[in-house]
Amino acid sequence: MPLTPRVAVPPGDRKPVPYAGHERKRAALLAIFVLGWVGTVLAWMVIESRGASSPVLRAVFAANVVFHPLMAAMVCWRLLPERLVDLGCLLFAAGICAACMVLRLYFPAYGGRIDLEPLYLWIPVIYVFAFTVAGHKSSLALSLGIMALFFLISLPYLLHSSSERFVNLTIQLHAVSAVLVAALHFFSGYQQRLQKVQLTMDELAVLSHTDELTRLPNRRRISQVVGYELLRFERYGRGFALIMIDIDHFKDVNDRLGHQAGDRVLKALALRARQTLRDGDTLGRWGGEEFVIVLPEAGLDDALRKARALCTHVARTPLIDDLVITISCGVASITPADTAESLFHRADTALYTAKQRGRNRAESAAPA
């Protein structure tokens, strides 16, 4: 089926909509923490059964067994913002790696069973993670801080150790880390520029279809919506109707009160007219003091009743300050003989008839 067209909504009428991406990320984090906890427990059991454990490994496993359920609870009950959860995971991983590195390099009696090769394979993953949890500049600062931490930990060892194997391995770790952080920073900056370009394009698209004063769909957007409804009518026989609205004696308002008051009237009318519409209806500014309402799947009688109710609703109370404004409406519904031009022409003719018959009223158009 055709997609419903997107129509600009005034900022005051927008309602917050939950972003599905956050729920998907929350579910993914919960799954990761549960699987991480299960994997940690199983690995601990296997190592203990083989007699390959040590106090340091037990401490690392114990920290993970506690950390995973704790963070799962934070995510499940939303006790912390997502960014803090991400940052906590990053700092926890960096802290575990740093502690293992210290024990292995300087306290072999405790960290002798820690293999540097697997440990050094995990450290670059931390930098990748850092560039996913923070902004472009923040992620660089965070990564450089973590890299500096590992470098400072290993520096005394590099200066005084006689183990050529571990020295070379540690130097390679820092070299690879520096290249990786530089590459991640480059790609992060490229992604940021792409996002800015996309945002600018989206904003331009919205502005091209939005009336600057009232923030309603403009004439171009209304024409697109009518074209879409015509296509639905031709394919599926789903009718629709138009209401053309004109403010009565609007020129007098501008002459007596000034154009600023006239602009306030236009914006106030846009807000009040929306109060009478369905969710699927489209209200737009046609130009000057004229507005158009597109009513999907509405017949002529329904549209005429809505137009008359709108006239009453607008005239019931002052629109701005103590100024009471009335409107006139012309109503037309689609027929097989209509084009977009003929439909607008018939609605405009009906609007002219309403003006001639005294204003503050709605009139329907003759069939095409």
Evaluate if residue 322 carries a pLDDT over 80.
yes
Q: Is it the case that residue 1 has pLDDT exceeding 60?
A: no
* 4: DSSP letter: P
Residue bearing the bigger pLDDT, 293 or 1: 293
DSSP classification of residue 64:
H
Residue 223 CB contacts under 8 Å (≥ 6 apart), including other chains: 340
Residues 232, 2: contact at Cβ < 8 Å? Answer: yes
Cα 48 to Cα 41, 111, 160, 286, 323: the distances in Å are 11, 16, 34, 77, 84
Q: Where are the domains of the chain?
A: 18-206, 219-364
**pLDDT at residue 52 is higher than 50:** yes
Instruction: State which amino acid sits at residue 149.
Output: L
291: left (phi over 0), alpha (psi -120 to 50) or beta: beta
pLDDT of residue 191: 84
Q: Give the burial class of 242: count Cβ atoms within 10 A of its Cβ; 0-12 exposed, 13-18 middle, 19 or more buried.
A: buried
Q: 364 in helix, strand or coil?
A: strand
Q: Find the catalytic residue in 48, 117, 289, 341.
A: 289
The mean per-residue pLDDT over the stretch 258-269 comes to 93
How high is the pLDDT of residue 180? 94
Q: Tell me the C-alpha distance between 363 and 322, whole Å.
A: 28
User: What DSSP designation does 80 have?
Assistant: S
**Does residue 343 contact residue 334 with C-beta atoms inside 8 Å?**
yes
State how far Cα 334 lies from the chain centre.
Answer: 36
Instruction: Tell me the mean pLDDT in the region 278-291.
Output: 93
Dump the DSSP string for 186-216: HHHHHHHHHHHHHHHHHHHHHHHTB-TTT-S
Gyration radius (Cα) of the chain, Å: 34
Q: What is the pLDDT of residue 192?
A: 85
Distances (CA, A) of 2 to 219, 222, 236: 22, 17, 11
Q: What is the pLDDT of residue 16?
A: 41
Edge-to-edge order in the sheet of strand 282-287: 282-287, 290-296, 240-247, 327-333, 362-364
Q: Which two tokens stand for residue 121?
A: 């394979």
Query: Which structure tokens are listed for 7?
Result: 């129509």
User: Is pTM beyond 0.75 here?
Assistant: no
* Residue given tokens 């109707």 in the structure block: 241
| Model pLDDT for residues 25-44, shown as the tens digit of each residue | 888 889 999 999 999 999 99
pLDDT digit string (tens) for 243-263?
Answer: 999 999 999 999 999 999 999
Asked about 289 being catalytic, the answer comes back as yes
d(CA 72, CA 20): 19
| CA–CA distance, 344 with 40 (Å, rounded to integer) | 69
Decide if pLDDT at 17 tops 70: no
User: Which DSSP string do the residues of 6-40 spell out, in sequence order?
Assistant: P----GGG------HHHHHHHHHHHHHHHHHHHHH
Structural tokens at position 101:
């590195």
120-175 per-position pLDDT tens digit: 999 999 999 999 888 888 999 999 999 999 999 999 999 988 777 789 999 999 99
- Place domain 219-364 in its CATH homologous superfamily: Reverse transcriptase/Diguanylate cyclase domain (3.30.70.270)
How far apart are the C-alpha atoms of 269 and 315, rounded to whole Å? 10
SS3 state of residue 2:
coil
Helices (H), 237-337: 250-257, 259-274, 300-316
Query: What is the per-residue pLDDT across 178-237, written as a single tens digit (0 to 9) for each?
Result: 999 999 999 988 888 887 777 777 777 777 888 889 989 999 999 999 999 999 999 999
> In this predicted model, what pLDDT tens digit does every residue of 103-127 receive, in sequence order?
999 998 888 888 889 899 999 999 9
Residue 58, token pair as written in the block: 């037990």
**pLDDT band at residue 21 under the 50/70/90 scheme:** low
- pLDDT the model gives residue 163: 76
- Give the span between the Cα atoms of 271 and 259, in whole angstroms: 19
